[in-house]
Amino acid sequence: MTTETSCAAATTTVCVGTACRETHTAERAACRVASGYRLCPRCQAGLRSALRNLPALYEECGLLLTGSRTPQEKTSGGPLPGMRLNGRAVEARSAVLRGLASWAGLVAGERTLTAPRRTVPALAMFLEHHLDWLCRHPAAADFSYELGRLERAARRIASPAQPRRVPVGRCVEPGCPGTLSTTVDTGRSEERGIRCDAVPEHRWEEHQWLHLRERMRQPGHPGQPAHGGNHPPRWLSPQAVSRLWGIPSGSVYRLASQHEWERHRKDGRTYYAEADVRRTLSHRKDSRTER
């Protein structure tokens, strides 16, 4: 089991920030970090920019709650009768608030500080104040990914990108010739999940992916050998755990430390043993499946 070291003991020499990981290998070779840091100056600046942009994006999504960019007059007793809420805007605002609060909780807990008020401006300001510490933290790569994801998701509400389907594998239902795929680059909750291109009724929600994958790995399923056998250990990124069980990435990191999940590091990113994750969070999956 890998034991995470303190921030000051970090030995990473190549930046693990999302922007650097997504660039060409030859370019990444020159993207070194200062002693004790896990992120290069460019990625640090990107995080600072994201923290300063998120409060404005949060407010912009607020203007879209009722499908209009015009600020709505506040009324008591909830929305006006017949008023339709923009579900995408609601989800984006909720994700921003939860994500920032989770990382602020991590900082406050590990540094024994008083947590900021649970508002996006206060949380963003708090995280920016402690950004140097976060850039040296073992979870810096995950923080970089999470902040970038939150910023991109909020921006997509105003100018959504064209969604695309990514193949997953053959349908698991007996006799079905269809192919399963999932939608990416979309903010519409109704477009998410895994769907069969042959039978519309064959579909699974995101949180059912682990159960679906088990069915796809059973002997006799197309793409699997007819005989059984041991499967190699499976690893999950914090983002995968977050999406499958519906918890913020910052909370994933705390749970991993608390329950001592086995860890594997690759390209500066941390991955957790699926078996350990499921032992801790199986009750969450079960409760979501029953909904």
Quickly state the pLDDT bin for 184 (edges 50, 70, 90).
low
The answer on pLDDT for 291 being more than 50 is: no
Q: Where are the domains of the chain?
A: 7-71+84-159, 164-231
Question: Would residue 245 be called left, alpha or beta, if left means φ above 0 and alpha means ψ between -120 and 50 degrees?
Answer: alpha
Select the more confidently predicted residue: 197 or 218: 197
What was the pLDDT predicted at 290?
Answer: 42
Q: pLDDT tens-digit profile of 2-15?
A: 334 344 444 557 88
Is the pLDDT score of 241 beyond 70?
yes
* Residue-level pLDDT at 81: 46
The model's pLDDT over 225-234, given as tens digits with 9 standing for 90+, comes to 444 455 566 7
User: Phi/psi zone of residue 195: left (φ > 0), alpha (ψ -120 to 50 degrees), beta?
Assistant: beta
Higher local confidence (pLDDT), 48 or 72 = 48
Tokens read off for 124: 């963003």
Q: ∠ CA 287-288-291 to the nearest 5 degrees?
A: 95
pTM: 0.56
How far apart CA 138 and CA 16 sit, in angstroms, is 10
Pairing outcome for strands 179-184 and 164-170:
antiparallel
Mean pLDDT of 37-50: 90
Phi, psi of 243 (to 5 degrees): -75, -40
Check residue 67 and give its pLDDT: 56
Range in 35-49, 141-155, 183-197, 221-235 with the lowest mean pLDDT: 221-235
Mean pLDDT of the chain: 76
Distance between CA atoms of residues 261 and 39, nearest Å: 24
Map residue 210 onto helix, strand or coil. helix
Q: How many Cβ atoms are within 10 Å of 160's Cβ, its own excluded? A: 13
